[in-house]
């Protein structure tokens, strides 16, 4: 007879009452998630992501809690190679978003951002294939270099989606994103900095990120707090405020350089720096009814929106300490929306443009 497992032989320390309580908790916490399985051609997926992207009305959109572009050209190329080879592609998860104020029937990308970006960039000749190991003869090809017949076959390739219905609330979507990525997700930039760039300035950033007024005006989910997103926001505020005109193209390099420089500065005045941060928050509290959020029903703030508003305000307050704006209606203008759409972050002219737009609107007479 086979030996009984150690788990079977050992006497459980869990009582029946504890088991019943655990089962009750499972039933209480379970959330029914309605979903449909869809299958779309690549051409349709790209179209849904591309059309309306500039004014943030595209059907397939990237939510604020998703990471910025993470895949390098080689990663993107390997994915495109998989599509060309007809290999199985992991499901893309999206959620049907219902907005009471302005329902556009949009689909929030819960998991699959990097794949959709890669499809879009390749289809629009923004991606040159590199590092391919199976289709080596396609290295240095763009989409336009493919024969017409192959372009059409690529566009007809289908990818499956799990589409959550509008019954899936924001907490469910964020939780799903976190769980899908647990185990495979790499440390984000802020988590890396805490491991290799410790110092007095980073400790100072840590403390400011816990400011209750900051957390109220710029709310974060528990998942984002665990990923050190509040610290990321505060670091971005100071880096752009004091050095935005020297930004080039890589946000991570820009922030790392600023942090390293200030960690080594033993003479930085935390009281002076904190006062400027708090003055900016006081202004937001007084003149922006929803804080940094777009509106009453929004529960989070995109990074580039926070950067534009916070840094623009701080720069304006440096020019005019007792600033009293005539109107803040420009925050709802098409021009401001254009400055702060989701793909506007990694361009020097756009960084400068959105920050100075806010500053100039506040200082205009």
Same structural domain, 160 and 275: no
Which pairing describes strands 158-164 and 92-97: parallel, antiparallel, or unpaired?
parallel
CA dist., res. 361 & res. 342, Å (int):
21
Same structural domain, 155 and 217: no
Structural domains counted in the chain: 2
Same structural domain, 77 and 104: yes
44-67 b/e with 16+ CB inside 10 Å = b? Answer: bbbbbbbeebeebebbbbbbbbbe
The full DSSP string for 236-277 is: HHHHHHHHGGG--S-HHHHHHHHHHHHHT-TT--HHHHHHHH
- The residue from 181, 212, 234 where one domain ends is 181
Q: Does 7 fall in a domain?
A: no
User: Which structural domain range is residue 112 located in?
Assistant: 35-181
Cα 360 to chain centroid, rounded: 27
Confidence at residue 176, expressed as pLDDT on a 0 to 100 scale? 62
Same structural domain, 240 and 273: yes
- The residue from 181, 206, 234 where one domain ends is 181
Same structural domain, 290 and 203: yes
Same structural domain, 82 and 198: no
CA dist., res. 322 & res. 51, Å (int):
43
Q: Does 5 fall in a domain?
A: no
Q: Does 70 fall in a domain?
A: yes
For residue 271, CA distances in Å to 21, 216, 315 come to 50, 22, 18
Confidence at residue 167, expressed as pLDDT on a 0 to 100 scale? 64
Confidence at residue 196, expressed as pLDDT on a 0 to 100 scale? 60
Same structural domain, 86 and 46: yes
CA dist., res. 355 & res. 340, Å (int):
10
Q: Does 269 fall in a domain?
A: yes
Nearest to 127 by CA among 55, 59, 79, 87: 79
Any residues with CB less than 8 A from the CB of 222 and at least 6 apart, and which? none
User: What's the start-to-end Cα distance of the chain, in Å?
Assistant: 90
CA dist., res. 37 & res. 230, Å (int):
35
3-class secondary structure, 34: coil
Q: Does 356 fall in a domain?
A: yes
Same structural domain, 152 and 174: yes
CA dist., res. 139 & res. 77, Å (int):
9
Same structural domain, 285 and 332: yes
Confidence at residue 268, expressed as pLDDT on a 0 to 100 scale? 81
Per-residue pLDDT of the chain (365 residues; tens, 9 = 90+): 444 444 444 567 888 888 888 888 877 766 556 677 889 999 999 999 999 888 888 999 887 655 566 788 999 999 999 999 998 888 898 888 766 666 778 888 888 889 999 999 999 999 999 999 899 999 999 999 999 999 999 999 999 988 877 666 666 666 665 565 554 445 567 766 665 667 888 889 999 999 999 999 999 988 788 878 899 999 999 999 999 999 887 888 889 899 889 888 878 888 999 999 999 999 999 999 999 998 888 888 989 999 999 999 999 999 999 899 888 999 989 889 888 875 545 678 889 999 999 999 999 86
Q: Does 16 fall in a domain?
A: no
- The residue from 152, 181, 210 where one domain ends is 181
Q: Does 316 fall in a domain?
A: yes
CA dist., res. 207 & res. 241, Å (int):
19
Q: Does 45 fall in a domain?
A: yes
Same structural domain, 301 and 172: no
Confidence at residue 183, expressed as pLDDT on a 0 to 100 scale? 46
Any residues with CB less than 8 A from the CB of 358 and at least 6 apart, and which? 308, 309, 311, 312, 313, 316, 336
Same structural domain, 168 and 294: no
Same structural domain, 224 and 136: no
């Amino acid at each position: 007879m086979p030996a009984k497992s150690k788990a079977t032989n050992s006497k459980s320390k869990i009582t029946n009452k504890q088991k019943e309580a655990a089962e009750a908790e499972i039933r209480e916490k379970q959330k029914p998630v309605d979903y449909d399985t869809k299958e779309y051609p690549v051409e349709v997926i790209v179209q849904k992501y591309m059309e309306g992207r500039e004014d943030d009305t595209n059907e397939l959109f990237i939510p604020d809690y998703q990471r910025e572009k993470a895949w390098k050209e080689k990663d993107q190329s390997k994915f495109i190679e998989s599509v060309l080879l007809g290999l199985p592609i992991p499901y893309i998860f999206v959620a049907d978003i219902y907005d009471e104020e302005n329902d556009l029937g949009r689909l929030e990308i819960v998991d699959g951002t990097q794949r959709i970006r890669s499809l879009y960039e390749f289809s629009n000749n923004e991606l040159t294939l590199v590092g391919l190991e199976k289709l080596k003869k396609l290295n240095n090809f763009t989409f336009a270099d493919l024969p017409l017949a192959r372009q059409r076959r690529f566009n007809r390739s289908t990818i499956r989606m799990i589409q959550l219905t509008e019954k899936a609330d924001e907490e469910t979507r964020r939780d799903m994103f976190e769980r899908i990525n647990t185990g495979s997700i790499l440390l984000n930039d802020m988590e890396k900095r805490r491991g290799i760039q410790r110092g007095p300035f980073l400790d100072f950033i840590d403390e400011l990120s816990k400011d209750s007024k900051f957390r109220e005006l710029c709310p974060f989910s528990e998942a984002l707090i665990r990923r050190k997103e509040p610290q990321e926001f505060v670091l971005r505020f100071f880096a752009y405020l004091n050095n935005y005109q020297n930004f080039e193209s890589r946000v991570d390099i820009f922030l790392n350089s600023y942090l390293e420089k200030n960690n080594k500065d033993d003479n930085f005045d935390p009281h002076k720096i904190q006062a400027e941060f708090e003055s900016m928050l006081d202004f937001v509290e007084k003149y922006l009814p929803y804080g940094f959020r777009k509106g009453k029903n929004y529960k989070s703030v995109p990074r580039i929106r926070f950067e534009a508003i916070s840094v623009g305000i701080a720069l304006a307050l440096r020019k005019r300490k007792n600033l009293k704006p005539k109107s803040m209606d420009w925050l709802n203008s098409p021009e401001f929306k254009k400055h702060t759409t989701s793909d506007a972050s990694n361009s020097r002219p756009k960084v400068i443009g959105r920050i100075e737009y806010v500053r100039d609107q506040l200082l205009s007479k």
